[in-house]
Amino acid sequence: MVYGNGIAVLVGDFCFARGLGSVAATGSLTAVEALAAAVTEMAEGEVAQLESAGDPEATADSYFDVIDRKTGSLMAWCARVGGVLPGPLDAALARYGRLLGRAFQITDDVLDCAGDDTASGKSPGRDLQEGKLTLPVLLACQARPALRDDIRSAMGEAGVSTADAARILQETRAAGGLDCARAEAMALARTAAAELQAVPPSSFRDALAALARLSVERVA
Protein backbone atom coordinates (compact mmCIF):
# COMPACT_ATOMS: atom_id res chain seq x y z
CA MET A 1 0.00 0.00 0.00
CA VAL A 2 2.94 2.30 0.61
CA TYR A 3 4.98 1.66 -2.53
CA GLY A 4 2.39 0.40 -5.02
CA ASN A 5 1.57 -2.91 -6.67
CA GLY A 6 4.51 -2.93 -9.10
CA ILE A 7 7.15 -2.67 -6.39
CA ALA A 8 5.33 -5.21 -4.23
CA VAL A 9 5.33 -7.75 -7.08
CA LEU A 10 9.03 -7.18 -7.76
CA VAL A 11 9.91 -7.61 -4.08
CA GLY A 12 7.89 -10.83 -4.08
CA ASP A 13 9.81 -12.04 -7.14
CA PHE A 14 13.09 -11.14 -5.41
CA CYS A 15 12.15 -13.07 -2.26
CA PHE A 16 11.06 -16.02 -4.39
CA ALA A 17 14.40 -16.00 -6.23
CA ARG A 18 16.26 -15.89 -2.91
CA GLY A 19 14.20 -18.84 -1.73
CA LEU A 20 15.09 -20.81 -4.85
CA GLY A 21 18.74 -19.94 -4.25
CA SER A 22 18.55 -21.18 -0.67
CA VAL A 23 17.06 -24.50 -1.77
CA ALA A 24 19.67 -24.88 -4.51
CA ALA A 25 22.42 -24.16 -1.96
CA THR A 26 21.47 -27.31 -0.05
CA GLY A 27 22.87 -29.33 -2.94
CA SER A 28 19.80 -31.58 -2.78
CA LEU A 29 18.49 -32.31 -6.26
CA THR A 30 15.45 -33.93 -4.65
CA ALA A 31 14.51 -30.70 -2.88
CA VAL A 32 14.96 -28.66 -6.06
CA GLU A 33 12.86 -31.08 -8.11
CA ALA A 34 10.15 -31.19 -5.44
CA LEU A 35 10.03 -27.40 -5.30
CA ALA A 36 9.78 -27.14 -9.08
CA ALA A 37 6.86 -29.58 -9.00
CA ALA A 38 5.15 -27.64 -6.19
CA VAL A 39 5.53 -24.27 -7.95
CA THR A 40 4.20 -25.79 -11.18
CA GLU A 41 1.20 -27.17 -9.31
CA MET A 42 0.58 -23.81 -7.64
CA ALA A 43 0.59 -22.06 -11.02
CA GLU A 44 -1.84 -24.65 -12.41
CA GLY A 45 -4.13 -24.03 -9.44
CA GLU A 46 -4.09 -20.27 -10.01
CA VAL A 47 -4.86 -20.76 -13.71
CA ALA A 48 -7.70 -23.16 -12.87
CA GLN A 49 -9.14 -20.57 -10.49
CA LEU A 50 -8.96 -17.86 -13.15
CA GLU A 51 -10.63 -20.15 -15.67
CA SER A 52 -13.47 -20.98 -13.29
CA ALA A 53 -14.07 -17.35 -12.28
CA GLY A 54 -17.49 -16.24 -13.40
CA ASP A 55 -18.81 -19.80 -13.64
CA PRO A 56 -22.07 -20.05 -11.65
CA GLU A 57 -22.01 -23.85 -12.00
CA ALA A 58 -18.82 -24.33 -9.98
CA THR A 59 -18.88 -27.30 -7.59
CA ALA A 60 -17.25 -28.25 -4.31
CA ASP A 61 -15.12 -30.78 -6.22
CA SER A 62 -13.74 -28.10 -8.54
CA TYR A 63 -13.18 -25.83 -5.53
CA PHE A 64 -11.11 -28.48 -3.73
CA ASP A 65 -9.17 -29.20 -6.91
CA VAL A 66 -8.12 -25.54 -7.05
CA ILE A 67 -7.16 -25.15 -3.40
CA ASP A 68 -5.29 -28.45 -3.33
CA ARG A 69 -3.02 -27.14 -6.06
CA LYS A 70 -2.98 -23.46 -5.15
CA THR A 71 -2.45 -23.76 -1.39
CA GLY A 72 -2.05 -27.43 -0.52
CA SER A 73 0.93 -28.00 -2.80
CA LEU A 74 2.99 -25.26 -1.13
CA MET A 75 2.17 -26.33 2.42
CA ALA A 76 2.83 -29.97 1.57
CA TRP A 77 6.27 -29.12 0.17
CA CYS A 78 7.13 -27.10 3.28
CA ALA A 79 5.86 -29.81 5.63
CA ARG A 80 7.89 -32.45 3.75
CA VAL A 81 11.08 -30.42 4.25
CA GLY A 82 11.45 -30.37 0.48
CA GLY A 83 10.98 -34.12 0.08
CA VAL A 84 14.31 -35.15 1.62
CA LEU A 85 12.86 -37.21 4.49
CA PRO A 86 12.47 -41.03 4.62
CA GLY A 87 9.48 -42.44 2.73
CA PRO A 88 6.89 -43.10 5.49
CA LEU A 89 7.64 -39.79 7.21
CA ASP A 90 7.58 -37.94 3.91
CA ALA A 91 4.17 -39.38 3.01
CA ALA A 92 2.62 -38.54 6.40
CA LEU A 93 3.91 -34.97 6.35
CA ALA A 94 2.76 -34.54 2.74
CA ARG A 95 -0.76 -35.53 3.81
CA TYR A 96 -0.51 -33.19 6.81
CA GLY A 97 0.49 -30.29 4.53
CA ARG A 98 -2.28 -30.94 2.02
CA LEU A 99 -4.91 -31.12 4.74
CA LEU A 100 -3.49 -28.00 6.41
CA GLY A 101 -3.66 -26.20 3.07
CA ARG A 102 -7.32 -27.12 2.67
CA ALA A 103 -8.18 -26.03 6.23
CA PHE A 104 -6.25 -22.76 5.87
CA GLN A 105 -7.86 -21.85 2.54
CA ILE A 106 -11.39 -22.70 3.67
CA THR A 107 -10.90 -20.51 6.73
CA ASP A 108 -9.66 -17.72 4.47
CA ASP A 109 -12.84 -18.05 2.43
CA VAL A 110 -15.02 -18.11 5.54
CA LEU A 111 -13.41 -14.84 6.62
CA ASP A 112 -14.19 -13.38 3.19
CA CYS A 113 -17.86 -14.23 3.74
CA ALA A 114 -18.08 -13.39 7.44
CA GLY A 115 -18.56 -9.66 6.98
CA ASP A 116 -16.26 -8.48 9.78
CA ASP A 117 -13.65 -6.56 7.82
CA THR A 118 -12.37 -4.83 10.96
CA ALA A 119 -11.23 -8.10 12.52
CA SER A 120 -10.24 -9.99 9.38
CA GLY A 121 -8.69 -7.21 7.35
CA LYS A 122 -10.59 -8.56 4.34
CA SER A 123 -13.25 -6.73 2.39
CA PRO A 124 -16.37 -8.94 2.62
CA GLY A 125 -17.52 -10.50 -0.65
CA ARG A 126 -14.33 -9.83 -2.61
CA ASP A 127 -14.28 -13.39 -3.93
CA LEU A 128 -17.86 -13.16 -5.16
CA GLN A 129 -17.19 -9.82 -6.79
CA GLU A 130 -14.35 -11.53 -8.68
CA GLY A 131 -16.66 -14.35 -9.75
CA LYS A 132 -15.24 -16.97 -7.36
CA LEU A 133 -17.65 -19.34 -5.64
CA THR A 134 -15.94 -20.53 -2.46
CA LEU A 135 -16.94 -23.38 -0.15
CA PRO A 136 -19.29 -21.41 2.16
CA VAL A 137 -21.33 -20.27 -0.85
CA LEU A 138 -21.25 -23.71 -2.49
CA LEU A 139 -22.44 -25.42 0.69
CA ALA A 140 -25.19 -22.82 1.07
CA CYS A 141 -26.29 -23.60 -2.50
CA GLN A 142 -26.58 -27.27 -1.57
CA ALA A 143 -28.79 -26.38 1.39
CA ARG A 144 -30.79 -23.77 -0.50
CA PRO A 145 -30.90 -24.53 -4.29
CA ALA A 146 -32.68 -21.25 -5.01
CA LEU A 147 -29.47 -19.47 -4.07
CA ARG A 148 -27.76 -21.04 -7.09
CA ASP A 149 -30.45 -19.53 -9.32
CA ASP A 150 -29.85 -16.16 -7.71
CA ILE A 151 -26.12 -16.47 -8.44
CA ARG A 152 -26.79 -17.45 -12.06
CA SER A 153 -28.88 -14.31 -12.50
CA ALA A 154 -26.35 -12.04 -10.81
CA MET A 155 -23.14 -13.44 -12.27
CA GLY A 156 -21.54 -11.50 -15.09
CA GLU A 157 -18.26 -12.05 -16.91
CA ALA A 158 -16.39 -10.05 -14.26
CA GLY A 159 -18.29 -11.46 -11.27
CA VAL A 160 -21.17 -9.92 -9.33
CA SER A 161 -21.82 -6.38 -8.22
CA THR A 162 -21.10 -5.18 -4.70
CA ALA A 163 -24.82 -5.05 -3.91
CA ASP A 164 -25.44 -8.56 -5.28
CA ALA A 165 -22.44 -9.90 -3.36
CA ALA A 166 -23.79 -8.46 -0.12
CA ARG A 167 -27.20 -10.04 -0.73
CA ILE A 168 -25.72 -13.44 -1.68
CA LEU A 169 -23.49 -13.42 1.40
CA GLN A 170 -26.46 -12.65 3.61
CA GLU A 171 -28.29 -15.65 2.13
CA THR A 172 -25.15 -17.77 2.49
CA ARG A 173 -24.96 -16.99 6.20
CA ALA A 174 -28.68 -17.62 6.65
CA ALA A 175 -28.40 -21.00 4.92
CA GLY A 176 -25.60 -22.09 7.26
CA GLY A 177 -22.89 -22.02 4.62
CA LEU A 178 -20.32 -20.39 6.91
CA ASP A 179 -20.98 -22.79 9.79
CA CYS A 180 -20.74 -25.84 7.54
CA ALA A 181 -17.53 -24.61 5.90
CA ARG A 182 -16.00 -23.78 9.28
CA ALA A 183 -16.87 -27.28 10.54
CA GLU A 184 -15.24 -28.76 7.43
CA ALA A 185 -12.07 -26.75 8.06
CA MET A 186 -11.95 -27.87 11.69
CA ALA A 187 -12.37 -31.52 10.69
CA LEU A 188 -9.55 -31.19 8.16
CA ALA A 189 -7.29 -29.58 10.79
CA ARG A 190 -7.95 -32.46 13.20
CA THR A 191 -7.18 -35.01 10.48
CA ALA A 192 -4.00 -33.11 9.62
CA ALA A 193 -2.88 -33.18 13.26
CA ALA A 194 -3.57 -36.92 13.40
CA GLU A 195 -1.08 -37.48 10.57
CA LEU A 196 1.63 -36.17 12.90
CA GLN A 197 1.50 -39.40 14.89
CA ALA A 198 4.05 -40.67 12.36
CA VAL A 199 6.49 -37.99 13.58
CA PRO A 200 8.60 -38.66 16.71
CA PRO A 201 7.39 -36.66 19.74
CA SER A 202 9.09 -33.27 20.07
CA SER A 203 8.36 -29.58 20.52
CA PHE A 204 8.45 -29.32 16.72
CA ARG A 205 5.66 -31.86 16.30
CA ASP A 206 3.67 -29.98 18.94
CA ALA A 207 4.21 -26.76 16.98
CA LEU A 208 2.90 -28.37 13.78
CA ALA A 209 -0.19 -29.58 15.65
CA ALA A 210 -0.71 -26.06 17.04
CA LEU A 211 -0.34 -24.65 13.54
CA ALA A 212 -3.20 -26.87 12.35
CA ARG A 213 -5.43 -25.50 15.14
CA LEU A 214 -4.42 -21.90 14.52
CA SER A 215 -5.16 -22.24 10.81
CA VAL A 216 -8.87 -22.57 11.60
CA GLU A 217 -9.12 -20.55 14.84
CA ARG A 218 -7.62 -17.37 13.38
CA VAL A 219 -9.74 -14.28 12.73
CA ALA A 220 -7.44 -12.63 10.19
Domain boundaries, the chain: 28-217
In angstroms, what is the C-alpha Rg of the chain? Answer: 19
Give every CB contact of residue 16 below 8 A, 6+ residues apart in sequence: none
Q: What is the pTM of this model?
A: 0.89
Classified as helix, coil or strand, 93 is helix
**CATH of 28-217 among 1.10.600.10, 1.10.287.3510, 1.10.10.10, 2.30.30.830:** 1.10.600.10
Say yes or no to pLDDT of 96 above 60.
Answer: yes
Say yes or no to pLDDT of 120 above 70.
Answer: no
Let me know: does 73 contact 105? Beta carbons within 8 Å. no
Q: What CA–CA distance (Å, rounded) separates 121 from 43? A: 25
Q: Number of C-alpha atoms within 13 angstroms, CB side, residue 25?
A: 6
Q: Looking at residues 175-181, what average pLDDT do you find? A: 97
C-alpha 109: how far from chain center: 8
For the chain, percent of residues with pLDDT exceeding 90: 90
C-alpha 104: how far from chain center: 5
Let me know: does 75 contact 105? Beta carbons within 8 Å. no
Give every CB contact of residue 97 below 8 A, 6+ residues apart in sequence: 72, 75, 76, 77, 78, 79, 80
C-alpha 95: how far from chain center: 15
Say yes or no to pLDDT of 122 above 90.
Answer: no
Q: What CA–CA distance (Å, rounded) separates 175 from 193? A: 29
Q: By CB neighbour count within 10 A (0-12 exposed, 13-18 middle, 19+ buried), where does 110 fall?
A: buried
In this predicted structure, what is the pLDDT of residue 158?
77
Say yes or no to pLDDT of 116 above 70.
Answer: no
